[in-house]
Amino acid sequence: MKKERTRRQRAILRRNLFLAACTVVLVLLILLIVEVIRWIGGEKAGEKPQDTGSVTSADVTPEQPVADTRPQFVTRGNHTLDATYTELMIVNAKNPLPDDYSIESELVEIDPKYRNNNNVYRIHKNVYPYIQAMVEAAQNDGVDLKVWSPYRSRSVQQTLFQNQVNRQLANGVPADQAEEKAATIVARPGTSEHETGLAADFNRADDAFEKTPMYAWMQEHAADYGFIMRYTREKQPITGVIHESWHYRFVGIYTAQEIKASGLCLEEFVAQKK
Ligand SMILES: [Zn+2]
């Protein structure tokens, strides 16, 4: 009788152990399946890092911006350039530079092989590699792109402005309007991008530039080196400056490409970013 009870107890114990083992195996199996599904999902997402086409605005909350998968550094000829480096400083008639503004210590001399002017020849040191890469690339394409007028000191800008005022007076523009007219052509001292070392005129600073292969090349490639054509006819009401086919401003590679694609001028682009 006692033996019979012990035997039954052992049978119950074995069954319970068997059930417990089954439960553990089942749980492990479920965990394994979940892991495999997650792994496959991760593999698929990793396969196409650029494919964000399936991401709808409902999927992306402002707290979780889509990661920027563009590389930080890009190769341009012999140069490795930081494509994320950005310069959005606005300098115009409404946003003059402070009177004590000085960038002298940040300037470097542009090698003569990149320029065709010996009077002004310095540029912001951070911008120089982009200028070098761009001029070299144009030269390799058989286009004789050269830097004409990069950085200008306040006093050089003052001289250029006064020369333009004198030209307006000589053309018969009344004395009380000459400065205003001149300012649409040459920026008043303190309001020129040239004083920042971030902008440059190329080859020749007149409308003839627009008819050259250098202009055509710049239209196609300048953004890939971080430069935008800063002053266009249609944006004159915003920039306050006439159409200047020769004046390019460094803003950074990805930023220049964005601005070019947007069709905005720098003032509009910066306002939109805020
Ligand atoms: Zn200029």
Confidence of residue 15 (pLDDT cuts 50, 70, 90): confident
Q: How far, in Å, from the CA of 131 to the mean position of ligand 1?
A: 15
The rounded distance, in Å, linking the Cα atoms of 130 and 221 is 12
Write phi, then psi, for 228 (nearest 5 degrees).
-120, 150
Helical packing angle, 175-183 and 154-170, nearest 10°:
130
Q: Residue 253 Cα, ligand 1 centroid: separation in angstroms?
A: 20
pLDDT at 37 over 50: yes
% pLDDT > 70, the chain: 85
- Tell me the mean pLDDT in the region 206-210: 95
Give the separation between CA 208 and CA 201, rounded to whole angstroms: 13
What are the backbone dihedrals phi and psi of residue 56, each rounded to the nearest 5 degrees, phi first?
-90, 165
Ligand 1 center to 111 CA (angstroms) = 19
| pLDDT score of 44 more than 80 | no
Ligand 1 centroid–CA 246 distance in Å is 7
Mean pLDDT along residues 235-250: 97
- Tell me the C-alpha distance between 168 and 174, whole Å: 8
Compute, in angstroms, the gap from residue 271 CA to the centroid of ligand 1: 22
pLDDT tens across 213-236, in order? 999 999 999 999 999 999 999 999
pLDDT band at 4; cut points 50, 70, 90:
confident
Please give the average per-residue pLDDT across 74-87, as a whole number. 98
pTM for this one?
Answer: 0.74
Per-residue confidence (pLDDT) for residue 56, from 0 to 100 = 54
Q: What is the pLDDT of residues 108-117, one digit of tens each?
A: 999 999 999 9
Amino acid type, 119: N
Of 267, 240, 101, give the one whose Cα is nearest residue 183: 240
| Domain residue extents for the chain | 1-58, 73-152+192-273
Gap between the Cα atoms of 253 and 238, Å rounded = 23
Fold of 73-152+192-273: Muramoyl-pentapeptide Carboxypeptidase; domain 2 (3.30.1380)
- Rounded CA Rg of the chain: 32
CA distances from 164 to 127, 168, 179 (A): 28, 6, 8
Q: Is the pLDDT of residue 161 over 70?
A: yes
Provide the pLDDT for residue 24: 67
Q: How close is the Cα of 116 to the center of ligand 1, in Å?
A: 15
Out of 3-17, 37-51, 57-71, 218-232, give the one with best mean pLDDT: 218-232
- SS3 letters for 189-243? CCCCHHHHCCEEEECCCCHHHHHCHHHHHHHHHHHHHCEEEEECHHHHHHHCCCC
Closest by CA to 256, choosing from 134, 124, 76, 87, is 87
- 121, 213 contact by CB (below 8 A): no
Which residue in 69, 70, 68, 66 sits closest to 81, CA to CA? 70
Report the catalytic residues.
244
Q: Show Cβ contacts of residue 170 under 8 Å, excluding neighbours closer than 6 positions.
A: none
Above pLDDT 90, what percent of the chain?
74
Ligand 1 mean position, distance from CA 172 (Å): 25
Complete edge-to-edge strand list for the sheet that includes strand 244-250: 147-149, 199-202, 244-250, 227-231
Q: What are the backbone dihedrals phi and psi of residue 162, each rounded to the nearest 5 degrees, phi first? A: -65, -40
Q: 201 CA to middle of ligand 1, Å?
A: 5
Q: Ligand 1 centroid to 16 CA: how many Å?
A: 88
Ligand 1 ion local residues (Cβ < 5 A): 201, 247
Ramachandran category for residue 145: left, alpha or beta (phi over 0 → left; psi -120 to 50 → alpha): beta
Could you tell me the CA-to-CA distances from 174 to 40, 93, 158, 177 in Å, in that order? 76, 21, 20, 5
Q: Name the more confident of 1 and 157.
A: 157
What 3-state class would DSSP assign to 123? strand
- What is the predicted pLDDT for the residue at 265? 98
